[in-house]
Amino acid sequence: MQEQVAINLAPYKERVSRARVIKPIGQVTRVIGLMIEVQGIIARIGEVCDIVVQDAAPVKAEVVGFRDRHSLLMPLGELRGIYPGSAVVPTGRQLTVKVGRHLLGKVLDGLGRPFNAAADEPGEDFPVDNRPPQPLQRQRIQTVLPTGVRAVDGLLTCGRGQRMGIFAGSGVGKSTLLGMIARHGSADVNVIGLIGERGREVLEFLEEDLGPAGLAKSVIVAATSDQPALVRLKGAFVATAIAEYFRDQGLDVMLLMDSVTRFAMAQREVGLAVGEPPATKGYTPSVFALLPRLLERSGMGQRGSVTAFYTVLVDGDDLNEPIADAVRGILDGHIVLTRRLAAANHYPAIDVLQSVSRLMPELAAEEHKARAGLLRDLLATYNQAEDLINIGAYVKGSNPKIDEAIEKHDSIIRFLKQTPSEYSSYEETLNQLAALAGRG
């Protein structure tokens, strides 16, 4: 009987041993840039602290490192009001977000707080920083997820629980493509993270790209470019945590994040502030350690799924720059948008010859794969002979393959073009693909 009591009390004894009976209060000794140096506290990496300021609510900050027995904090808000000697109180908790069905249709800030809402929001606290599902506990991806975009469903078929990257330069149509996928996709819930975006683009995205129908089944997390680096970082993790919550309810979730590049830039700011060396084109080593921690959290779980589309803003349209290269190696496929197609008024500006879905060979039917392969072949043939065709140097009948590519080129381009408001069901896309391949 005594042994049984001891066993039952064991977890409580452990909690008591870890409990802090007296909370040490520290003070701010120095502020350099966004880095706050504090002495006199005992706090873990990732713990949130309150910095007391006069005539205002406490400034929340997170412990990001240590230096010479001082704790290094970065603010989760404005630095205004902090002075030398400001009291710093550790909360003993990491950042959490209130989750629940009440979030649908709402816009949250980078810390998961709804805009224009009361402080006492309903819902349960859910940790922002979670581990990815164990590899052996993930379900396999076996079901096609229609997006309503012909170029994607026809030639870059995605699966439920797949993670895709959308790679493009600025102003080529990444946000518009995300809006089309969110509005037309067949997921139960959309979670959209706008990380480091311009402030004016948030409302623009909601009203023009997403629309009322898309917003009704979506949760938006917006951490704009004027927010502190740590808030932009947390915005990406908050969006991912909300998607994980809905996945754990057994739902199929679509996670759309724009953009991973600005997430990496925020982590570079944090890394440089705590003294990390700039390693690859100015990016610190922690950036490349943090990317898989973020991207691996989406995908299949034991119940439900998170199908993710991450945009990557490529510097100077260079698809081999460090962040684009690292992200492409982690994800399950990439969709490349090119400025050449956008300049020719071809929207969405998807270059299907540079794009690939790594799971399409496993998910698509044999006839579907054969027809998609034929279209790719015809496009590649036309591109190779385009200069000869344009200057009139190609003589019809010289090459049957080029003749077929010329004959079907306009039809293929019409198939790949799609206006933002146009919806194409998966069956409709496959029927058009079959007709183009000449086998329908």
Q: How far apart are CA 330 and CA 332, in angstroms?
A: 7
Q: Are strands 47-51 and 59-67 parallel, antiparallel or unpaired?
A: antiparallel
pLDDT for res 440: 37
Give the largest Cα separation in the chain, rounded. 96
pLDDT for res 205: 83
170-209 pLDDT, tens digit per residue, is: 889 888 898 899 888 888 999 999 999 887 888 888 888 7
Nearest to 199 by CA among 168, 173, 232: 232
pLDDT for res 390: 83
Length, in residues, of the chain? 440
Give residue 181's region: left, alpha or beta (phi > 0; psi -120 to 50).
Answer: alpha
Q: Which two tokens stand for residue 315?
A: 């510097």
Q: How far apart are CA 338 and CA 107, in angstroms?
A: 30
Cα distances (angstroms) measured from residue 222 to each of 53, 144, 211, 234, 320:
26, 29, 16, 11, 28
Q: Is the dihedral of CA 396, 402, 404, 410 positive or negative?
A: negative
| pTM for the model | 0.88
Domains and their CATH numbers in the chain:
21-94 (2.40.30.20), 98-363 (3.40.50.12240), 367-437 (1.20.1270.330)
Cα distances (angstroms) measured from residue 254 to each of 198, 214, 238, 339, 346:
23, 12, 15, 27, 26
pLDDT for res 247: 95
Q: What is the pLDDT along the chain (440 residues), one digit of tens a residue?
A: 444 544 577 777 767 666 655 668 899 999 988 899 999 998 999 999 999 988 888 999 999 989 888 999 999 988 888 999 999 999 989 999 999 998 999 999 999 988 865 555 678 899 999 999 888 889 999 999 999 999 999 999 999 999 999 999 888 988 889 889 988 888 899 999 999 988 788 888 888 878 788 888 899 999 998 898 999 999 999 999 999 999 999 999 999 998 899 999 999 999 998 889 988 888 999 999 999 999 999 999 888 999 999 999 987 777 888 999 999 999 999 999 999 999 999 999 999 999 999 999 999 999 999 999 999 999 999 999 988 888 888 888 888 999 999 999 999 999 999 998 899 999 999 999 999 987 43
Please tell me what DSSP assigns to residue 137: G
pLDDT for res 208: 81
pLDDT for res 115: 81
78-128 pLDDT, tens digit per residue, is: 888 899 999 999 998 999 999 999 899 999 999 998 886 555 567 889 999
Residue 308 one-letter amino acid: A
